[in-house]
Chain A
Amino acid sequence: MDSGNCSDNTKLQAIVSALDNGRLTPLEVCRRLKLILEKEYDKPTSDRNEELVLVCEKLLYEIYTKSPYVSRKEESKKALKERLKAVPRRFSLFVHRSLIAVCVLFVIAVGVEVLFGHEWLTGTSSPDEEQYQIEGHKAEVNTLPDGHADSEDTYGQLRTSNLDEVQAFLGYTPELPTWLPEGWALKDYHVIRAPAITKFSIRYVNKAANDYLLTYSFVVYGDINQATIAFEQERSGVAMSVDGISVYISDNTIERNSIWIDGKTCFCISGLLTDDETVAIIKSIRKDRCSE
């Protein structure tokens, strides 16, 4: 290989001196240089004589342009680097912006949680199964306690058989059952208003029920921390799905309690009812809500 390179270089020197002495025309020099280059290009890259290629290319350039060869290697390298850099920079910019967007969304989500809080009610049987306990929960991120006026103006209760009075007292129309088992008739309404608690209940009576009442009620907790109510029961009850809501049903001596939770409101139907009757009443309340 070394001998090959040596002969090529000798050839090249001969070509250059012939050109300088005027023995070869520039056209002939070009032809010979091209032959050398073609020969080199045919070789594998590892065997190629890069120096010879470079010298031939320089000479060809100078013959064609009739001006000295000026290397633009560094300039080209720089331009190439810039181009190569531009692609990952664009990509990293995209990733960077995406990360910022995710962070902003997270901060907004936490902010909403802090400002408005996430509050909910849960119901569980006590360890001795004696009660079904409703408790309020709040996302811990909310560090500011809720403020509720404790002035006596905010407390009050109303017992009436007039629904208009109930609406005026509550400030809205409560959800009511539109179906009841045969024999039950409305007795009256009862509304309790406290700063953090509103309770609405309806009593129904039935001559055949031996003074037992059928009661539909709901408690709305303005301050979820104050949600503590427990329903009496013989033992743990069962959960039943009615129109997509989970209803907890348990027995308390001869009456049946059906309890369900919707947001910060706890609903209950108590009375001498069968499961089918309970489901029908709940469906009528839900239907009434949907038709509003």
Chain B
Amino acid sequence: MKKNFILCFISLILGVILLMSPLNSIAEIAVPYASPVFSSGGVSISTSIATTFLASTNKICDSIYVSSCTLQRKNSNGMWVFDATLPPPSYVAYDESEYFAYTSYASYCTTGNTYRIKAVFYAEGYTITRYSNAVDY
């Protein structure tokens, strides 16, 4: 009985040591970021909030599109805050490795503010998130 208790205690200690071991950290580091589908992506806005969406994939995909789009505004503290949910571009690229769409969101903006757009691109079950350049409107 006493022997079993000692064995259990040693096992518990070893378990805790393993959980805190560098092997666990290595496993965490080894998880690759990257994207198995997307190579690159970007969102650009002009001073009139005309928005250009670009994305590239490393394979020809059944479909590539922008799944969500958000307008962010810079507040008085210089922090980016949610301003509005924007309708994503209706364009869908079929059997493509390149995505390109453009649209204007000027009607969602009020003068005197600084804006940027957050967009999520979707292809083959994978997504990438991109933030546009900031623009004083």
Structural contact, A150 and B40, CB atoms closer than 8 A: no
**Is there an interface contact between B40 and A228, defined as CB atoms closer than 8 Å?**
no
If A232-B35, A232-B40 touch, whether A157 touches B100 (CB-CB below 8 Å) is yes
Q: Are A255 and B33 in contact (CB under 8 A)?
A: no
By a CB distance below 8 angstroms, the chain B residues around A192 are 54, 98, 100
Inter-subunit contact B58/A230 (CB<8 Å): no
Q: Is A110 an interface position by the 8 A CB rule? A: no
Question: What is the minimal beta-carbon distance from A279 to any residue of chain B, in angstroms?
Answer: 19
**Distance of A102 from chain B, by nearest CB (Å):** 36
Contact of A229 among B32, B48, B54, B98 (CB under 8 A): B54
Q: Mostly helix, strand, loop or mixed at chain B's interface? A: strand
Q: Does A148 contact B (CB under 8 A)?
A: yes
Q: A231 with B97: in contact, given A148-B46, A197-B52, A255-B58 (CB under 8 Å)?
A: no
We find that the number of chain A residues with CB closer than 8 angstroms to chain B is 48
Question: Which residue of A226, A234, A268 contacts B52 across the interface (Cβ within 8 Å)?
Answer: A226
* Smallest Cβ-Cβ distance to A146: which chain B residue: B47
Question: By the criterion CB–CB under 8 Å, are A217 and B33 in contact?
Answer: no
Nearest residue (CB) in A for B55 is A229
Tell me how many residues of B have a C-beta within 8 Å of chain A: 34
Contact A223 B46 (CB under 8 A): yes
With A199-B100, A226-B52, A227-B133 as known contacts, state yes or no: A268 contacts B32, CB within 8 Å: no
Chain B residues, CB < 8 A from A265 = none
* Given the contacts A150-B104, A192-B54, A203 and B97 also touching, CB distance less than 8 Å: yes
On whether the beta carbons of A128 and B33 are closer than 8 Å, the reply is yes
A223 cross-chain contacts in B, Cβ below 8 A: 46
Question: Is the C-beta of A278 less than 8 angstroms from some C-beta in chain B?
Answer: no
**A212 contacts the other chain (CB 8 A):** yes
Chain A residues with CB below 8 A from B98, complex form? 157, 159, 190, 192, 199, 201
CB within 8 Å of A: which B105-137 residues = 128, 130-133, 135
Q: Which of B50-69 contact A (CB under 8 A)?
A: 50, 52, 54, 56, 58-60
Chain A, range 102-139, C-beta contacts under 8 Å to B? 128-130, 134-136
For residue A252, CB closer than 8 A to chain B, the reply is: yes
With A226-B44, A231-B40 as contacts: A213 and B60 at CB distance below 8 Å: yes
A255–B40 alpha-carbon span in the complex (Å):
12
B133/A215 in contact, CB under 8 A:
no
User: Would B50 and A195 count as touching, CB distance under 8 A?
Assistant: yes
Asked if A201 contacts B56 (CB within 8 A), the reply is yes
Expressed in whole angstroms, the minimum distance between the Cβ of A131 and any Cβ of chain B is 8
Inter-chain contacts of B39 with A (CB < 8 A): 215, 231-232, 252, 255, 257, 268, 270
Q: Across the interface, which residues of A come within 8 angstroms of B59, CB to CB?
A: 211-213
Q: Is A22 an interface residue (CB 8 A)?
A: no
Q: Can you list, as one digit per residue, whether each of A198-235 has a CB less than 8 Å from chain B (1) or not (0)?
A: 01010100000001110101010001011111111111
For the complex of A and B, 5 pairs with smallest distance between CB atoms: A229-B42, A226-B44, A150-B50, A130-B33, A232-B35
Chain B interface (Cβ < 8 Å from any Cβ of A): 32-36, 38-48, 50, 52, 54, 56, 58-60, 97-98, 100, 102, 104, 128, 130-133, 135
Please name 8 pairs of A and B residues whose Cβ atoms are closer than 8 Å in the assembled complex, sorted by A. Answer: A128-B33, A150-B104, A194-B52, A196-B44, A213-B59, A223-B46, A230-B42, A234-B32
Given contacts A229-B42, A230-B42, 5 further A-B contacts (CB under 8 A): A212-B58, A228-B44, A253-B32, A257-B39, A270-B40
